[in-house]
Amino acid sequence: MATPEDAASAHHGPATLDRVPIVDISPFLHGSPAERAAVADLVDRTNREIGFLVITGHGFDLELLDRWFEISRRFFEGPGSAKRAVMHAGPTAHHGYHGQGLSGLAAKEGEEAPPDLREYFMIGQTDLSAAPFRTPEAGRFHRPNLWPDEPAEFAAVGGAYYAAISRLGAELMRLFAVSLGLPEHWFDDKIDHHFSIVSSIYYPEQKTAPLPGQLRAGAHTDYGSLTILAPTAAPGGLQVRTLQGEWVDVPHVPGAFVINIGDMMQRWTNDRWLSNMHRVVNPPSAVAATSPRQSIAFFLHPNHDAVIECIPTCIEQNAPAKYPAILAGEYMIEKEAAIATATTKK
């Protein structure tokens, strides 16, 4: 897959974006054809050049978001025994709690780095009763969730958040379809039994100095189709790498979401769109001991049996399809195997 450096030569050269833009998507959701087209064009350019955008005007229930932040914080700041009781089952069983110091995202990219200074809790589909979730093949991607006993509202609020953010993800995939010159609902039947993950992430305060090269989250790309991130304004935040190789802060806008492209979408678009490197840096040392941070990520993975092959509008005379077709589930299995190999070598 093309790197950010490869992409630089294929896109707009020195005029490429050097910051993450803030995009109001309400004109796409509710506006005229011309307004919708303007938003779609901006999203296409942004995804080509930096792969990140901050969206406002999305209409998401911010009270639900705040409630999920609050309940997640209570879980992470609670007793270790409660967290260990819902520890995830292994490297391919993501649902449940993941403790601090057990993994590093930079290692997944083949880089030498200490473990990340974060812990997180992952949730998958909450209702697996429909037929597409009950096939033998689906079992690899859809597992029962692990819910802690406390806070008592954890499962209800987490499940409500998963459902609501999935709906926003579907809206964004429609925006992406129009941005790619496709019919608006082109992705709908490819994400109607998706195996997406919500990850509630907690970066504890740093009572001692990090190890050399240790970050809250090391530099990495995401490997699904898109990510919807709800950050907080606490010190020590998200940075993205520009095509010029500079790290820039992602702006924090209250009530906004950060959207970025994953490796699967870059492949799906024949490298037209960029799955870009990003990281979460440490807070300044003067405030590190009193500055925990939270974020909530939604990794939208398509249906496990969706065929990921070059989108028709991403094939041009001088840009034939670069990658063979692959099922989304198989792609993720290959990614996880490669990550496991890279991590084992450390």
pLDDT in tens, 107-165: 666 667 788 999 999 999 999 989 889 898 888 899 999 999 999 999 999 999 999 99
Query: What does the pLDDT average to over 240-265?
Result: 96
**Computed from CA positions of residues 204, 275, 7, 15, in that sequence, does the dihedral angle turn out positive or negative?**
negative
- Please report, for the domain that includes residue 271, its CATH number: 2.60.120.330
Q: What are the tokens at 132?
A: 């597409």
pLDDT class of 14 with cuts at 50, 70, 90: very low
132: containing domain: 4-344
Give pLDDT, residue 109.
62
Least confident of 23-27, 108-112, 173-177: 108-112
Contact 27, 35 (CB under 8 A): yes
220-256 CB burial, b ≥16 within 10 A, e <16: bbbbbbbbbbbbeebebbbbbbbbeeeebebeeeeeb
> Does 299 score more than 70 pLDDT?
yes
The dihedral over CA atoms of 80, 84, 85, 90, expressed in degrees to the nearest 10, equals 170
Q: Indicate the burial class of 34 (C-beta count within 10 angstroms; 0-12, 13-18, 19 or more).
A: exposed
Number of Cα atoms under 13 Å in the Cβ half of residue 335:
18
pTM of the model: 0.92
Q: Residues 72-97: what's their mean pLDDT?
A: 89
Please choose, from the candidates 72, 3, 8, the residue with its C-alpha nearest in 3D space to the C-alpha of residue 297: 72
Q: What is the pLDDT of residue 10?
A: 43
Q: How many domains does the chain contain in total? A: 1
Q: For 311-325, how does the pLDDT look when each residue is reduced to its tens digit (9 = 90+)?
A: 999 998 787 899 999
Residue 140's pLDDT is what? 87
Q: pLDDT above 90 covers what percent of the chain?
A: 78
Phi, psi torsion values for 23, nearest 5 degrees: -120, 120
Name the 3-class secondary structure at 192: coil
Compute CA 22 distance to the chain's CA centroid, rounded to the nearest angstrom: 17
SS3 of the chain: helix, strand, coil, percent, to 5 = 35, 20, 45
Taking the C-alpha atoms of residue 343 and residue 200, their distance in angstroms, rounded to an integer, is 23
Residues 24 and 174: their CA atoms lie apart, in Å, by: 15
For residue 340, the model assigns a pLDDT of 62
* Residue-level pLDDT at 346: 47
pLDDT digits 0-9 by tens, 179-234: 999 999 999 999 999 999 999 999 999 999 999 999 999 999 999 999 999 999 99
Q: How confident is the model at residue 72 (pLDDT cuts 50, 70, 90)?
A: very high
- Average pLDDT (256-283) is 97
- State residue 1's pLDDT score: 52
Q: How many angstroms separate the CA atoms of 215 and 221, rounded?
A: 15
